[in-house]
């Protein structure tokens, strides 16, 4: 190894220690990118590569590099708002037992009155707005609680212009969507995103944040591509008719509630007064470890499927922008389910009518001949 390369690797490590915040480890982002790449069919993957100026698989360590070069961007990787969202008795009733379960859409917000504009949820909305076309956004149903993307992000102020290009923004969007599926990054609480909680596993000490970020290193091999694609096509219809920024809120709330039901709940014990508490440190049992690995696997898979969906949607926005410049528009893909229901509706009206006509024709052949003879005479 050359001296310069060794110094670069040391600087990268030192920078990550100083910054003190990451989302998924490089292994987690690599997993997300690998699945998303498999779900983006040939031409789509090539177009994304053109927009991103590199293959999605090549940016697994991009987040670490950016944190080292621009430490202020660490603010973008966690969500902050006032009032904060906490695990409490009111939220317990709506906590999901699994991903995709019931959740309170009011939990996490991106508004100018409450959410910090430089936080994760709002940053996602900011980066997406740079690829969205208003004409396509108008096709989505109006939301009673619109997501208000910030006009600027403070952590980007000191970045050079070369780091503020569309390709860089698309990389940010991809990385932050992965971060949105790391539960500890969505609730600061009393444990500071898990950084103030100590855990022990197999005799080794971690913070809860470090432990969760390293879980992808213990993942099982990926399922077959057809399995991932079948799961993706089953899930995607739920996202078709929602504005992406609304999806960000839905996905953020869904993931944040898992902090309470699946992470903090596993650390709690009853004190002498029968009250749940979390001690320092907590020894992670094997059952909890394997349950968390399975949950983290599902979250990264879901992040990858949603990333593939979002990138496909951005390609439609890009095509529309190009068409708009040339005086023609391009509509987004409509829901296949809606099209199917429309066809079924038409069929229920048309088929009986046709059957009645055919039946009458079969039972009255002389009437048909008479009509033909009269037509010829005329």
Domain boundaries defined on the chain: 3-325, 336-377
Residues of the chain falling short of pLDDT 50: 3-20, 89-106, 334-346, 368, 371-372, 375
- pTM, full prediction: 0.78
Q: Dihedrals φ, ψ of 181, to 5°? A: -105, 15
**Distances in whole angstroms, Cα of residue 159 to Cα of each of 52, 140, 164, 236, 349:** 18, 34, 7, 35, 61
pLDDT given for residue 105 in this prediction: 40
CB burial of residue 27 (10 Å; 0-12, 13-18, 19+):
middle
Phi-psi category of residue 189: left, alpha or beta, with phi > 0 → left and psi -120 to 50 → alpha? left
Asked if omega into 83 is within 30° of 0 (cis), the reply is yes
Residues 232 and 305: beta-carbon distance below 8 Å: yes
Instruction: Out of 3.10.20.590, 1.10.575.10, 3.40.50.720, 1.10.260.40, select the CATH number for domain 3-325.
Output: 1.10.575.10
Is residue 270 helix, strand or coil?
strand
Per-residue DSSP letters for 316-352?
HHHHHHHHHHTT---PPPPPHHHHHHHHHHHHHHHHH
pLDDT given for residue 100 in this prediction: 43
Greatest alpha-carbon span in the chain: 104
- Of 249, 314, 259, 252, nearest to 292 by C-alpha is 259
Residues 56 and 167: beta-carbon distance below 8 Å: no
């Amino acid at each position: 190894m050359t001296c310069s390369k060794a110094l670069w690797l040391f600087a990268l490590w030192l920078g990550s220690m100083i910054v003190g915040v990451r989302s998924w480890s490089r292994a987690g982002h690599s997993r997300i990118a690998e699945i998303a790449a498999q779900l983006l069919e040939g031409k789509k993957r090539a177009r994304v590569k053109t927009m991103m100026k590199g293959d999605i698989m090549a940016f697994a360590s991009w987040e670490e590099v950016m944190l080292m070069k621009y430490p202020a961007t660490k603010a973008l990787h966690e969500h902050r708002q006032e009032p904060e969202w906490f695990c409490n008795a009111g939220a317990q009733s709506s906590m999901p037992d699994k991903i995709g379960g019931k959740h309170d859409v009011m939990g996490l917000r991106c508004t100018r009155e409450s959410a910090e504009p430089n936080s994760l949820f709002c940053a996602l909305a900011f980066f997406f707005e740079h690829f969205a076309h208003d004409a396509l956004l108008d096709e989505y149903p109006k939301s009673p609680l619109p997501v208000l993307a910030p006009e600027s992000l403070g952590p980007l102020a000191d970045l050079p212009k070369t780091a503020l290009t569309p390709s860089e923004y698309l990389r940010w969007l991809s990385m932050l969507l992965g971060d949105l599926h790391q539960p500890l990054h969505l609730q600061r609480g009393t444990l500071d995103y898990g950084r103030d909680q100590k855990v022990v596993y197999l005799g080794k000490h971690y913070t809860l944040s470090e432990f969760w970020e390293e879980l992808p290193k213990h993942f099982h091999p990926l399922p077959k591509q057809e399995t991932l694609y079948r799961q993706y096509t089953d899930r995607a219809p739920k996202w078709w008719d929602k504005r992406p920024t609304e999806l960000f809120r839905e996905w953020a709330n869904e993931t944040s509630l898992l902090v309470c039901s699946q992470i903090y709940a596993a650390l709690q014990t009853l004190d002498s007064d029968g009250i749940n508490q979390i001690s320092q440190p907590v020894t992670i049992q094997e059952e909890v470890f394997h349950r968390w690995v399975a949950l983290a696997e599902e979250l990264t898979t879901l992040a990858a499927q949603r990333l593939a969906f979002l990138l496909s949607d951005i390609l439609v926005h890009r095509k529309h922008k190009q068409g708009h410049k040339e005086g023609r528009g391009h509509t987004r893909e409509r829901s296949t389910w809606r099209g199917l229901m429309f066809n079924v509706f038409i069929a229920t009206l048309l088929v009986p009518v046709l059957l009645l006509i055919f039946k009458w024709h079969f039972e009255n052949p002389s009437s048909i001949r008479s009509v033909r003879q009269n037509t010829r005479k005329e």
